[in-house]
Structure 1
Amino acid sequence: MMIKLGLCMLLLLLSTFGKAQDVLKRKVSDSLIDDKSETTAISEVIIQSASRSIKLNDGNVVMAVSGNKDFRTSTNLFEVLRKTPGVAIDQEGGIFIGGRVTPAIFIDGKPVVMTNQELQAYLRSLPPEMVESLEVNSNPSSKYDAEFKGIIDIKLKKNTNLGWKGSYNGNLYINKFSTRENSLNLTYNTGKVAYSVQAGYNDGISTYRYHALQRLANTNVMRTKTYQEDRGAVYSIQTGVDFRVNDKNRVSINLRGNFRENDRIRSGSLYTTDKSETKLVSHTESENPISYSQDNYGMTANYSFQNKGFKIDFLGNYLSVKNKQQDDFINRNKGSSALLSYWKSDLFNKISIYTGQIDASQKIGSADMEVGIKYSQSDTHNNIRYDTLSAAGQFVFDPARSNIFSYKEKIWAGYLAYRQKLGKLQINAGIRFENTNSISNAITVDSLVSRNYLEWLPSFSASYTINPSNELSFSYSRKITRPVFSQLNPFRFYFSPLNYWIGNPYLLPSFTSQIKATYRYKNWITSFTLGKEKDVMTRYPIYNPETNVLEYLGTNLPYRKFAVLETSFPLKIKKWWTVTSQFAGYYNYEFRPYLDDVFALKICNYEIRLNQVFTLPKGYTINLFANYESKSGNSLYIIKPRYTVDLSVQKFWLDNKLNTKIGYNNIFDSYDQRLEFRHKQIMDNRLGHWWDSSRFFLSLSYNFGSSKYQAKEIQKTEEENRTR
């Protein structure tokens, strides 16, 4: 059914593409279209290009958000990103561009980096009406931190009216359980000083299911099932003061706190039969209750000076994160209820980050020279203790699972960038250096890994404006990706009693070189990216046929080659009906040594999106969004195709102060992820993940106050992203 749906969507896409070409070739007089033709069949209506809501900036796609009908029914900015060309959101809220690249999030040109959960909550607190535009940069220059393989820059609407303004945003999601999101924004502007306060509270229950089928080495068949309920509450508050000293000097200070409490109930079973699946061999049940908390504190200080063509900017950040988690792992025989094993874990994790950077620029004629330097320091300490129930009925320390791990990292970075406009040609060139000094210390196993390396990272881009309807751009960059803490930490993270993954403190950073070409014809944008990544960081499975334990370990692959083709074009079929079509094709070639073999497969897959907006009488807007992903995977796993369909309705009330939205996401509950191991001679394993993304939602936002001043958002650093 999913394949048929994908083919139908592809045919519709191609059909729409063909109709658009016919319109471009034909010259039809406006007098031929009268009132009577407006009521004829859709197939006889001339399709026209939609109004301009998309453009290029140095080859980067810039999408208007506020006032854009494509996003009018979206509950928040997180939902807007799902429909933005070139951006993808997975079931757990991860944001990706250009395939599987995790972008840095910027607000008004400044990096905003949080843990994944905190970032999701922040994006869900922003309604589309507060956002001017989104800029998607899938090939950032050397001006930006080398870990930024991609950037999404969110431009907030700017108003400077004096007085105060407030807004409330609330969302309710319902399926088996319900979740609620609430945010309150207050700003006060005196002309010289702007104050801002944002408070949020989210709570509710989310569910997750995991299932796997594995044919064991002894020919038995084992089925794994896991069900999880996550009951959570998140409190957040941030305050800011922005001093406009004069036209040249500006100072801002921001403070924030985010506090999370989660109680997770996870239950599972291992059901094993003989190879005919008629005789029961064993049946065990597991319970894994989890209590988790996270406390985040952050501070940002920013000073900027600007005089004529000269500008200097200082940005300093401090972040403190504390994580605590307690687990119980209880395994019983299903038939007799006899206790098979019982162990407990107690985790404490603390992260501290300090950063400071100075950027300066000088305009010289039609050219701009920029220079900057940055220092960042991060310290992470992780202590996890396991205690196992002994035969005597006492919990005793388990040294095989317990782990104390610390990671310290210092980075000095600097860049020099040149930019000049020569008529219709815009040229950008830059060079960046980054010196990394890191020490990872697995104290429990007495393993110390120290590294100190310097890398030079160039970039170049050129864009040419042929005419107002045609633009062409080309860019090149070299990037570095350092392993994050969770990839380095050599402790066990359990999915089930026989399934877990372990970090690798010996992982090396990876390096990516890529080129990108982009062409725009009116609202039609097509881009092509080609690149190669060395020392690719990935996980691989190892199966033990004696214990039936399946563990996932981290390693560096020698290299992979990749290519991405993306195109999007909005069309106005009728005054009340617009369609935005998106197509992305992906190519991936991995050189993967695994066990005693080398697997090198060429994987091609594609994704199609159709976003239809219907503007109806009396101010109602209906949005129908469909997404199809073809079969994909990597050298080891096949990922099955899947699709999703969303339907929503929006309307303004009370002179546009009240905005209400109602809808249903993932109507057919068809967006679960199913994987299959390719090489049956090594391991016959099939697994699936399901998240509760099929749900009804109700959303409302209300604006009040006497001003439309938009407060400056907190600025945070890219190092914070690596705490996840």
Structure 2
Amino acid sequence: MATFAQPNAGKAKVIITGNVVEKTSKLPLEYATITLKNTQNPKAVFGGITDNKGNFNVEASAGVYDIIIEFISFKPTEIKQKRLNESTNLGTIALEEDATQLNEVVVRAEKTTVEIKLDKKVYNVGQDLMVKGGTVSDVLDNIPSVSVDVEGNVSLRGNDNVRILIDGRPSSAINITEALRLIPADAIEKVEVITNPSARYDAEGGGGLLNIILKKGKNQGINGTFIGTTGYPKNNGVSGTVNYKTKEFNLFTTQGYSQRENPGNALTNSRYLNDDNSTRDYMYETRENERANKSYNGNFGFDWFLSESLTWTNTVNYRRNSGNNIDDVLQKYYDVNFAYQYERNRINAEDSKSKNIEYTTNFTKNFKKEGHKLTIDGSFSKNTDENIAFITDAATNTPIVTLDETTNLQKQNRNLIQTDYVYPFAKGSQIEFGYKGEFLKNISDYSVVTNGVPFPQFTNILEYKEYVNALYTSYGTKIKKFSFLLGMRWEDSNIEVNQLATSDFNNKKYDNFFPSAFFTYELGEQTSASISYSRRIQRPRGRQLNPFNNLSSNVNIFVGNPDLDPAFTDAVDIGYIKRWSKLTFNTSLYGNKTTGAFQFVRRESGDFQNGIPIIISSPINLATEYRTGFEFTLNYSPYKWWKLNSNFNFFYNETDGDFTYTDFNGNEVVQNFDNSTIAWFTRLTSKINLPYKIDWQTNATYNGPQRNAQGRSLGVFSMNLAFSKDILKDKGTLSLNVSDLLNSRKRLMETYIAGAVDSYGEMQWRERQINFSFTYRFNVQKNEREKERRNRGGQQDDGGDFPG
């Protein structure tokens, strides 16, 4: 049992004992802090912490003391002017959860935690069994309310307009989807899910924000964790986190290297239609992907404690990746009677390389008054992506073989400066304001050579610049059981889209206000309700604005729209949480209205490839989109050794808009994009603590069917499984997990475009994955190992979700 003291010479020694428990459940609170402050001698301070049974034993000099008993997220208990002239037992002290704080409520569980704040939820996911040996994408797909589809696209409550941050900053990666697949899951400490962000956060992201917090050691002395992983298909990797902390410095580093193979497959069976929707012919397509990559992810940094109240943090992050992908496409053609005609084989052999280096710095000044804080942040990064592909196209009905060589080189610089100031000026009240400047420049050099001849139609250099300056302020207070947080954010955007090949320059300038409001009312000790509002923006990005063609397919051509404007979303969220001894119910009803929503319209170009019409797709500000839905999370603990978590989301989406254009024959064509759809998904997770320190975790997910303007996606069921066992006196852990146990995680699509095509498709980005990992911890304090054990166990007694 740890104790600390400032000696008071000449005084008799006394022993102070007692027991600390949680008020509601009467469970003992381990690592609660007991502090004795001598009222006549401020330098005389004694204290200690409770053991695993909640007991404490503190030795102090006789005298008069203020005694403070504290535990994170609980209301402290203070015994004033206690005269201690002899050894004393203070008896049982019950601490009550602090569910009335203005800015946050930390919901404690025996095995894992979720922090429920006024405008976000924080899931501690670092030790989730399901993601051992996986990536950030795997982590996000195990978070309630979050979904990651088979192509790696992230959505929050069914909305894919999500802003993803890493350590509170936009990712410096050019392709965020690929970046999430490269960062190892073992580097993550927690994920903040912000469904309706306040004015403090970027206005970008109509569907909300996800903030991924990376690990950084905090223990005194030198300590660390090493993890080795192997898997099938090939998934070999090693990673480690080492930390060295003194009174003046905290040095930390995380290093990881992996080699992965991600085989995938797809098929599309298409029936092409005449103008009267009768059958013209058929084309059946199968696709096999052989993906492999090698990646390194590392950082090094330090905290310099300049004084008790001032800390300077510096970090350098470096990521490197090289990969290749052989995309083998076989197309078989049939006539109107489904008689075989010929086949075509299209092979895309692609090599890619990427490098990213980022330097971040932070000053944090904590003033004497609790909560009074000033922070200054800077982030400066460079990223390069190089992609070279050789596309061979051969058919049995012609001796001609086409060879396309495409090169796409991207360079991106992203610089960010931010400062935030929080001032609590009265009990339960505070004001906050700050500035953020984000400056982005991306140059994309794309070229195509066909059979040795440059193809100017697909060769171009696009320069994209985005400068966003923002100011915000917010005010919050608490009046008895009622809390509110009001905010206003102003963002000035200056965006340049410069097509250097044609000297086509476009400049978009606009500034907007983004209000937010959050209201919370405590209906009881274990019950609260809230309502919130915010206004959001979705800015078009480089590829969406690039007016040049992109040779991603020989019959489906993407062309950007330089006149694309941002879309704006008004979001309302109503929340409710109720906690019982073994059950927690957390639900929300939400509604979004988006004006100027992006829609990808398809039209015939008038050109044909082997008799197949070439279709051009472009984004436009076409529609107004309405989205309403509700979700709930249930956490049930029928026994101490068995914990259940379920998450359900249901939403209705309606799109209104018409697109009118003149086709290549001079005819006016009207496309009606009015559409409404109902969709839902659900996830169930079971965690069981078996004997001999073995943990067993299973989760099952079902994504319900969903309609869109030109077809529908079908329902898909998938399941994951994981086991772990602690060894070597809890210094080591063996883990086995199976991702997509039934090998059923696919995108199933039905598409119907009148007068064009009727098709069915399947796409599986990654086949079933089996991983085995070993974790070893050295000099990690007992309470830190216990935190990991808690996270793996997954017990949830009174509030919130556990990972998975």
d(CA) in 2 for partners of 1:331, 1:122: 35
CA contact (8 A) 1:536 1:556 kept: yes
CA contact (8 A) 2:172 2:383 kept: no
The amino acid that maps onto 1:95 is V
* Candidates 588, 610, 623, aligned match of 1:558: 623
* Candidates 206, 210, 227, aligned match of 2:262: 206
Structure 1 residue 494: Cα displacement: 4.2
* Candidates 453, 460, 464, aligned match of 1:396: 453
In the alignment, does 2:496 pair up with 1:439?
yes
Partner of 1:376: 438
In the alignment, does 2:343 pair up with 1:278?
no
Partner of 1:322: 384
Structure 2: tracts of 5 or more residues without a match: 1-108, 275-279, 660-668, 785-804
d(CA) in 1 for partners of 2:522, 2:266: 51
The amino acid that maps onto 1:352 is N
Structure with higher Rg: it is 2
d(CA) in 2 for partners of 1:423, 1:692: 52
Whose helix fraction is larger, Structure 1's or Structure 2's? Answer: 1
d(CA) in 2 for partners of 1:217, 1:544: 17
Describe the SS at the equivalent of 1:596: strand
In the alignment, does 2:514 pair up with 1:452?
no
In the alignment, does 2:688 pair up with 1:614?
yes
Aligned 1:220-259 pairs, distance under 5 A: 220-259=281-320
CA contact (8 A) 2:217 2:241 kept: no
Q: 1:657 to 1:642 in 2, by over 3 A?
A: same
In the alignment, does 2:409 pair up with 1:353?
no
Partner of 2:646: 581
Tell me whether 486-495 or 510-519 shows the greater mean CA deviation: 486-495
d(CA) in 2 for partners of 1:421, 1:111: 32
Partner of 1:22: none
Structure 1: tracts of 5 or more residues without a match: 1-48, 390-394, 711-724
Structure with the larger RCO, 1 or 2 (CA within 8 Å, 6+ apart): 1
Aligned 1:510-549 pairs, distance under 5 A: 510-522=567-579, 523-543=584-604, 547=608, 548=612, 549=614
Structure 1 residue 513: Cα displacement: 0.2
Aligned 1:497-512 pairs, distance under 5 A: 497-512=554-569
d(CA) in 2 for partners of 1:427, 1:110: 26
The amino acid that maps onto 2:622 is L
Structure 1 residue 199: Cα displacement: 1.4
In the alignment, does 2:373 pair up with 1:311?
yes
Q: 1:501 to 1:662 in 2, by over 3 A?
A: same
Structure 1 residue 702: Cα displacement: 1.2
d(CA) in 1 for partners of 2:319, 2:167: 22
In the alignment, does 2:224 pair up with 1:166?
yes
Structure 1 residue 634: Cα displacement: 1.9
Structure 1 residue 706: Cα displacement: 5.9
Structure 1 residue 542: Cα displacement: 3.1
Tell me whether 676-685 or 291-300 shows the greater mean CA deviation: 676-685
In the alignment, does 2:117 pair up with 1:57?
yes
Over residues 676-718 of structure 1, what are the superposed CA-to-partner deviations in whole Å (9 max), with x where a residue is unaligned?
Answer: 22444443233221122412221221112366899xxxxxxxx
Describe the SS at the equivalent of 1:400: helix
In the alignment, does 2:363 pair up with 1:363?
no
Describe the SS at the equivalent of 2:589: strand
Structure 1 residue 495: Cα displacement: 4.4
In the alignment, does 2:143 pair up with 1:84?
yes
Describe the SS at the equivalent of 2:183: helix
Over residues 112-171 of structure 1, what are the superposed CA-to-partner deviations in whole Å (9 max), with x where a residue is unaligned?
Answer: 6643333343351237xxx4x544220001111111442334567887543111211233
d(CA) in 2 for partners of 1:691, 1:315: 38
Structure 1 residue 51: Cα displacement: 8.1
In the alignment, does 2:220 pair up with 1:189?
no
The amino acid that maps onto 1:676 is E
Partner of 1:689: 763
Partner of 1:266: 327
d(CA) in 2 for partners of 1:244, 1:686: 61
d(CA) in 1 for partners of 2:155, 2:327: 28
d(CA) in 2 for partners of 1:557, 1:466: 43
d(CA) in 1 for partners of 2:693, 2:152: 31
Q: 1:497 to 1:599 in 2, by over 3 A?
A: closer
CA contact (8 A) 1:579 1:612 kept: yes
Partner of 2:64: none
Identity %: 22
* Candidates 129, 138, 152, aligned match of 2:195: 138
d(CA) in 1 for partners of 2:193, 2:391: 43
Partner of 1:601: 675
Over residues 572-597 of structure 1, what are the superposed CA-to-partner deviations in whole Å (9 max), with x where a residue is unaligned?
Answer: 23343322122110110011324513
Structure-2-length-normalised TM-score: 0.76
Q: 1:231 to 1:492 in 2, by over 3 A?
A: farther
Q: 1:160 to 1:354 in 2, by over 3 A?
A: closer
Q: 1:249 to 1:410 in 2, by over 3 A?
A: same
* Candidates 196, 200, 210, aligned match of 1:152: 210
CA contact (8 A) 2:569 2:595 kept: yes
d(CA) in 2 for partners of 1:112, 1:384: 23
Q: 1:342 to 1:134 in 2, by over 3 A?
A: closer
Partner of 2:801: none
